Amino acid sequence: MCRNTAKHGLIYLLLTVCSLSALSDNAGKSSPITTETLFHEMVDLANLAVFPKPAFRTVQFSSYDHRSRLPGGPDWFANADGFGGEPIPNFEKVLRAPDTDGIGEYLIVEVNGPGAIVRLWTAAISGSVRVYLDDSQTPIYDGSADDFFRRPYDRFSQTSNIDMDRFRRTIYQRDASYAPISFAERLRIVWTGNTKEIHFYHLQVRLYEKGASVTTFRPEDIAVYRRTIDKVTGILSDPDRNLVPKSQQSPSPFDLDVKPSEKKTVIRLNGPQAIEQLVLRLTADDLDKALRQTLLQITFDDAPWGQVQSPVGDFFGAAPGVNPYQSLPFSVRPDGTMICRFVMPFERSCRIELENTGVQPVAVKGSALCMPFAWNEQTMHFRARWRVQHNLIASNRQVQDLPFLLAHGKGVYVGTGVYLMNPSSVPTPYGNWWGEGDEKIFVDDDFTPSTFGTGSEDYFNYSWSSPDIFAFPYCGQPRNDGPGNRGFVTNYRWHVLDSIPFRENIRFYMELFSHERTVGMSYARIGYHYARPGLTDDHQAIMPGDPELPVLPENWQPAARFGAANAVFFAAEEIVSDKDDTQFEEGRLWAGGKLLVWTPTKDSNRKSFVLPIRSTGKQQIHIAFALTPRAGRISLLLDGKPIRLEDGAEDIDLHRPYRILLRSIALAPAEMESGDHTLTLEWKDTPVGVSNPRIGIDFIWVQQR
């Protein structure tokens, strides 16, 4: 059980000493940093709670627009960051000017001293790279730049010794790689290519303090440390099962009701120790509202304000509503159980409170699992303070820097969550994209950011404003309503291997830079971090209107702009050939406030729509479908003939467990005569366990090509 008394016994003191030897930053400080120790760090969440020793700085080299040198200057929001043809090369230095074919050599990074590559990312990069470690004249990597930034270990034959399938699902995360590459003395990377071609990249490096003992990476390390690598990827593949708590105690349970306008203490704890795992589950009539309007406050060592202050759902990354996902520090299960594995140490006391700011009663169940944890001059408190701005105006002209964390003191930045409501009426990612803006992170004495990104989705490890639902150990998008990036959107990224220590201050901004001017956006976010006592930040108390759950505009209509230019839209209910086996579902997610729902049967497995085509020529048909737990697989016919999707697929699976999404599906372009044409949906099957299938069709649009 978690200690909630002040008793100190010999057994506990012995446990504390043992824990300190295992978890303190001083443990094994004379041992060198190796490929193996870096892999260990990838799953050691307790390590994040102790200021690193040897100390290091985390810096990022990227293809950001290198005109953005003066904060607040005329080019501060310049956005030529890797598409090619930038006014100045997006590299540190020109090593060899372009030849007659446009091919030149450019320096991506050159740093001296001990360090390690801890993250790579690219949306796409042409050309090749040579990677030199220390004073070797032979590159450890010489080949495709895209392969290096996405899959750097794949080049090495020693990967045959490890579970490479699992490695690619855990160490390679979406468009990023966390495969560490350490160096004792120097890192130098040269890109060879044509700057008129695409070249997006991020490269994050730890730069250790002088004298740190670092063993340079060798491909042989993959075979030597194969057991460690497989153990780490096993944990990352399923932390709920495989990340075994260090604590030998039993969790302390709680079960309570919180009435409207009531604030209750969930549990009180005495230190020194740490919460290793916090579990919560809320139930309410309107769970989406309860998860936003029930505030979690965790106060360590009698601070006047909670170091953690956040709506419950936002803190756990499930906002709004329950959006199941699994990552290393957080998991959200389909039944609404939410788990936090960030370790939270305290020296004297901890108090967990819940405040119901809504109008409905909320029931709460959960537990806190504690572990021995000695408090010393390197130990830090965990902090996660939520902030929101409602009714923002996003713009591609009046771009602004949104503060995520402005803090003075000593600590380590370990994660970011964003929770948006995007009311854009353009139905495509090109047009309703909210995240063209870059992250800008100033640490200590930075004049310009030591981390300067190339786009919000790039920071979250994906690219091209993708609306996909995905979850990896360190990054994910557990909610994105659609179509495109419209509606409610949630992104997260956890900084574990790529944590960002700061000794004096940190200033973390993200640009709000959209494809077009969008009024009425809501933008909530959390900058998760650890800090030594005495840190001050720019946090303001959560005000009564802040935790209100924003709503999408009523009766929205898709706009024929950007990716939907030259489009004609038809509400599904207006062009359906017959209304047999159909009904309407109302909601703000759907265009015009209602969705046509077709219930297919074995005897009635087709539903047709009549499309009035205005002019002869190449046309592309798009269908805005509801993706739901009760949907299934369908195929399509145009004028009685099968038609494929744009990607060549013959059918589409509309089934999505646990979620309701709106997605615009493009069919293959086709030559069409003016006049009426018949588009037919044919139901194929539904997953086992789904009875009474329902196919939702919101609107259909035709675009001239």
Reduce the DSSP state of residue 651 to 3 states and report it.
Answer: strand
State phi, psi for 11 to the nearest 5 degrees: -60, -45
Which residues, 6 or more positions from 668, have their beta carbon under 8 angstroms from its beta carbon?
620, 643, 644, 645, 646, 648
What is the distance of C-alpha 6 from the center of its chain?
40
What is the distance of C-alpha 9 from the center of its chain?
43
Whether pLDDT at 14 is above 70:
no
CA-closest candidate to residue 572, choices 601, 608, 618, 614 = 608
Average pLDDT over residues 144-167: 98
The whole-chain average pLDDT of the chain stands at 95
Average pLDDT over residues 460-485: 98
Q: 60-94: b or e for each residue (b if 16 or more CB lie within 10 Å)?
A: bbbbbbbbbeeeeeeebbbbbbbbeebeebbbeee
H/E run at residue 620 = strand 617-627
CA distance 614 to 191: 50
pLDDT at 597: 98
- With contact defined as beta carbons under 8 Å apart, do 242 and 329 qualify? no
pLDDT at 7: 33
CATH number for position 489? 2.60.120.1390
Whether pLDDT at 323 is above 50:
yes
Same domain, 250 and 158: no
Which residues, 6 or more positions from 493, have their beta carbon under 8 angstroms from its beta carbon?
415, 416, 459, 460, 461, 474, 475
CA distance 589 to 506: 38
CA-closest candidate to residue 505, choices 573, 555, 446 = 446
Cα–Cα distance list, 396 to 399, 514, 618 (Å) = 6, 5, 32
Whether pLDDT at 473 is above 60:
yes
Same domain, 482 and 427: yes
Same domain, 405 and 326: no
> In this structure, what is the dihedral angle of CA atoms 301, 305, 308, 310, given to the nearest 10 degrees?
160
Q: Is residue 481 part of a domain?
A: yes
Q: Is residue 340 part of a domain?
A: yes
Same domain, 272 and 408: no
CA distance 97 to 107: 12
Q: Is residue 121 part of a domain?
A: yes
Structural domain including 612 reads: 566-704
Same domain, 174 and 254: no
Q: Give the other-Cβ count within 10 Å of 675's Cβ.
A: 10
pLDDT digits (tens, 9 = 90+) for 377-426: 999 999 999 999 999 999 999 999 999 999 999 999 999 999 999 999 99
Same domain, 157 and 71: yes
Q: Is residue 437 part of a domain?
A: yes
| CA geometry: angle 294, 296, 300, nearest 5 deg | 165
CA distance 124 to 466: 14
Predicted confidence band at 602 (pLDDT cuts at 50, 70, 90)? Answer: confident
Last residue of a domain, one of 374, 401, 430: 374
pLDDT at 94: 98
Same domain, 355 and 442: no
Same domain, 355 and 290: yes
CA-closest candidate to residue 697, choices 553, 569, 568 = 569
Same domain, 140 and 176: yes
Which residues, 6 or more positions from 161, have their beta carbon under 8 angstroms from its beta carbon?
222, 223, 226
Cα–Cα distance list, 214 to 42, 44, 210 (Å) = 17, 19, 11
Predicted confidence band at 28 (pLDDT cuts at 50, 70, 90)? Answer: very low
Same domain, 365 and 434: no
Q: Is residue 551 part of a domain?
A: no
- Residue 144, Cβ density class (10 Å: 0-12 exposed, 13-18 middle, ≥19 buried): middle
What is the distance of C-alpha 148 from the center of its chain?
22
Cα–Cα distance list, 628 to 469, 625, 693 (Å) = 13, 9, 10
DSSP class per residue in 231-278? HHHHHHH-HHHHS--S--SPPEEEEEEE-TT-EEEEEEEESSEEEEEE
Average pLDDT over residues 346-351: 98
pLDDT digits (tens, 9 = 90+) for 254-286: 999 999 999 999 999 999 999 999 999 999 999
pLDDT at 689: 87
pLDDT digits (tens, 9 = 90+) for 519-548: 999 999 999 999 999 999 999 999 999 999
Q: What percent of the chain has pLDDT over 90?
A: 94
Predicted confidence band at 19 (pLDDT cuts at 50, 70, 90)? Answer: very low
Which residues, 6 or more positions from 258, have their beta carbon under 8 angstroms from its beta carbon?
264, 294, 354, 355, 356, 361, 362, 363, 364
Average pLDDT over residues 143-154: 98
What is the distance of C-alpha 238 from the center of its chain?
17
Whether pLDDT at 702 is above 80:
yes
Whether pLDDT at 697 is above 90:
yes
Q: Is residue 547 part of a domain?
A: no
Number of domains in the chain: 4
- Residue 600, Cβ density class (10 Å: 0-12 exposed, 13-18 middle, ≥19 buried): buried
Q: Is residue 559 part of a domain?
A: no
CA-closest candidate to residue 11, choices 240, 225, 248 = 248
Last residue of a domain, one of 340, 374, 408: 374
CA distance 432 to 422: 8
Whether pLDDT at 212 is above 70:
yes
Q: Is residue 545 part of a domain?
A: no
Whether pLDDT at 106 is above 70:
yes
pLDDT digits (tens, 9 = 90+) for 221-266: 999 999 999 999 999 999 999 999 999 999 999 999 999 999 999 9
Query: Quick one: CA dihedral 407, 413, 417, 423, positive or negative?
Result: positive
Average pLDDT over residues 594-605: 93
Q: What is the C-alpha radius of gyration for the chain, rounded to an integer number of angstroms? A: 27
Let me know how long the chain is: 705
Same domain, 83 and 159: yes
Same domain, 677 and 612: yes
CA-closest candidate to residue 330, choices 252, 239, 212 = 239
In 453-566, beta strands by DSSP E: 470-471, 475-480, 487-494, 500-502, 505-512, 518-531, 536-537
CATH number for position 606? 2.60.120.260
Last residue of a domain, one of 539, 555, 576: 539
